[in-house]
Structure 1
Amino acid sequence: MGKIVTFGEVMLRLATTGYERFSQAGSFTATFGGGEANVAVSLANYGLETQFVTRLPKNDIADSCIMNLRKYKVGVDHMLRGGERMGIYFLETGAVARASKVVYDRAHSAIADVQPGMINWREILKDASWFHWTGITPALSQGAADACLEAIKTANDMGVTVSTDLNFRKNLWKYGKTAAEIMPALVEGCDVILGNEEDAEKVFGIKPEGFEVAHTGGEINAAEFESVCTQLMQKFPRAKKVIITLRGSINANHNSWGGVLYSQGKLYQSKRYDITHIVDRVGGGDSFMGGLIYGLLTYTNDDQKALDFAVAASCLKHTVYGDFNMVTVAEVENLMGGDGSGRVSR
């Protein structure tokens, strides 16, 4: 099995303590996180070889971030150093009927100022079996979008599997282009497409009939999303698998969680988890993606088991503070086997 390469921005995360609001905060807890970095940490934690590609400035905060990634055995051999700053995001964790809030401070970050030709993708993807990106990266700047497209085309040319998490973030598309203008050319080169209940609609106008995510009351019928999968495959015929994560939000602390996977004309559905005491849901989709890549590479020709691993891994992520999913393969497989008791392991 070759290495897995991911590409995107890693940020300094500054979170209020507990459930404090921004206006109450006298201090913030500092960690690091970002979609593609989160996926790389999950995969490295499962024992797979990873390389996370980004651009970071030459300063002590960026050095600390690189040390943090190395601690989790993520490969950082191909990072670019340059630019003026790391991106930052501030997190206020919601509770019950009050939603969580994220405030970004990432304009003109080092990765946003990347330009095509700066990254030697052919060298980086040598001996790789998988390349992963998310819709967050091309939202940062035209340069980041162009660099991402370079990577995808190179991976296609070298026979490397390409996956994407559509990850639509309306607050990031600020440089004069919309997701609908930029994303199709990138997604065309993808073998595996992941999205949630809203991504396909917000980016491509694709949605299941008669469904409004804001009015689910926590109840989502997985079968309704088969049409989303088939429409995405019709639009992007290279795709071999389309996966939709299904989150039913009862309130900020109580969600239902599951997913569907569509491949070769068949819809696979996961079991649904009832997550009643969420510790931290940020990075939930990334933990799903990390679990999915691991599952597809490990449980060869068993799409159901790959989906089940992804959903269980992400369910466990909701119990872990921070962006990174610090759970083991054994813990995920234990939950897959039906043990969700949470009893002390002695």
Structure 2
Amino acid sequence: MKQVVTFGEIMMRLSPPLNYRLSQASSLEITYGGGDANVAAALAYLGVPAAHAGCFPDNAVGRAAAQQFQHHGVDMSHCVFQGQRLGLYFLEVGASLRASRIVYDRYDSAFANLQPEWFDWDEIFSNAQLFHWTGITPAISASAAQATKEAIAAARRLGLTVSADVNYRRNLWKYGQRAQDVMPDLVAGCDLVVCTEGDAEDLFGIKAEAGAENSFVSMSQQLIRRFPQIQQVIATRRETQSASHERIKGIAFSGGQYHETEFFDINPVVDRIGGGDSFISGFIYGQLTYPTLQEALTFATAASALKHTIHGDINLVTAAEVEHIVAGNTSGRLLR
């Protein structure tokens, strides 16, 4: 099987133990994560060969971050080591009525200062079948946006499938270009996108038609008309009961048809970071494995639900574990 390749920034995550607040902390737990790379790692656990391209500082911290993903089975041979700084983020894990909170410290990171010519996409994609990126990557810097554009162009030329989680983060776009000017050209090269109605309106000015029976279908139809390369639009619906209790279901629009799953109930939530990355990785795996979109969507949603029970950014689950949940085994009974 050929590889899935991702491209984006990996950061160090620093979090107080348990549900402590930063003001209470005397120590911080270190993990690593990034929206694109989380997808690669999750796919590796599901048995799909995965590689990640990125840029790390040329020091012990940068190499530790890359080694963590290599440990999780991701091919990191396409990564560049230049610069001095690894991006950080601090996470307080909420509980009950108190929401989780993230503070970013990623300005002037090695990834933000990458040069597009450092990445030979023809070589990186030489054994690839799919390229995945997120809207976070072009938001980081003009050079990261240009590298993303070049990667998509190479993927299209080489016949790869291209997927994206548009993932609009308004506060990241600070380098002088607007997301609304950059993202349309990138999304135009995609076959599969994760996109909500809110992101579609913010990025592309697309609103569900007044009186539409299903706002997601209305948005997806307009998105596909504007970007004809897109074949599938997927997303999740959340019913947040509290920081400790979520219900999620998957939704999709493909071939003129709407699909949805049942809700998966997650109580208690251990760590919701990476839930969306687990959803798209599960969907990619599902499309490579199952004959129907409905089966792929159900697998993806179950994979995302399981991620909510695992500390850290990465979904450390096998396909068999996800299939166990899909089969209705949600009691959490001890397995011997």
- TM-score grouping bracket, smaller chain normalisation: over 0.9
Q: Is 1:270 aligned with 2:261? A: yes
Partner of 1:91: 91
Gaps of 5+ in 1: 212-221
2:236 to 231, 245, 257: 245
Partner of 2:216: 225
What secondary structure, in the 3-state scheme, does the structure 1 residue paired with 2:4 have? strand
Q: Deviations over 1:66-106 (max 9, x none)?
A: 22111111101110110111110110112222221111111
Partner of 1:312: 302
Distance 2:219 2:26 in 1: 45
Distance 1:209 1:259 in 2: 22
What secondary structure, in the 3-state scheme, does the structure 2 residue paired with 1:39 have? helix
Distance 2:241 2:84 in 1: 41
Partner of 2:141: 141
Residue 198 of structure 1, CA deviation: 3.0
Conserved 8 A contact 1:197-1:244: no
Q: Aligned letter for 2:99?
A: A
Distance 1:174 1:335 in 2: 41
Distance 1:15 1:195 in 2: 29
Conserved 8 A contact 2:43-2:49: yes
Residue 224 of structure 1, CA deviation: 3.6
Partner of 2:10: 10
Distance 2:35 2:182 in 1: 19
Partner of 2:271: 280
Conserved 8 A contact 2:247-2:265: yes
Residue 204 of structure 1, CA deviation: 2.1
Distance 1:199 1:27 in 2: 36
Distance 1:11 1:44 in 2: 19
Q: Deviations over 1:2-43 (max 9, x none)?
A: 111000000000012221222222211100001011000110
Number of equivalent positions: 336
Residue 195 of structure 1, CA deviation: 2.3
Distance 1:137 1:74 in 2: 19
Q: Is 1:185 aligned with 2:155? A: no
Distance 1:51 1:33 in 2: 14
Partner of 1:217: none
Q: Is 1:260 aligned with 2:260? A: no
What secondary structure, in the 3-state scheme, does the structure 2 residue paired with 1:113 have? coil
Residue 248 of structure 1, CA deviation: 1.7
Q: Aligned letter for 1:299?
A: Y
Conserved 8 A contact 1:197-1:246: no
Conserved 8 A contact 1:3-1:128: yes
Q: Deviations over 1:156-208 (max 9, x none)?
A: 00100000001111221111122111100100000000124532232223344
Residues 21 and 206 of structure 1: is their aligned pair in 2 closer, same or farther, counting only changes over 3 Å? farther
The alignment-based identity, stated in percent, is 48
Q: Aligned letter for 1:306?
A: A
Conserved 8 A contact 2:197-2:215: no
Q: Aligned letter for 1:57?
A: P
Residues 56 and 303 of structure 1: is their aligned pair in 2 closer, same or farther, counting only changes over 3 Å? same
Distance 1:335 1:157 in 2: 38
TM, length-normalised to structure 2:
0.96
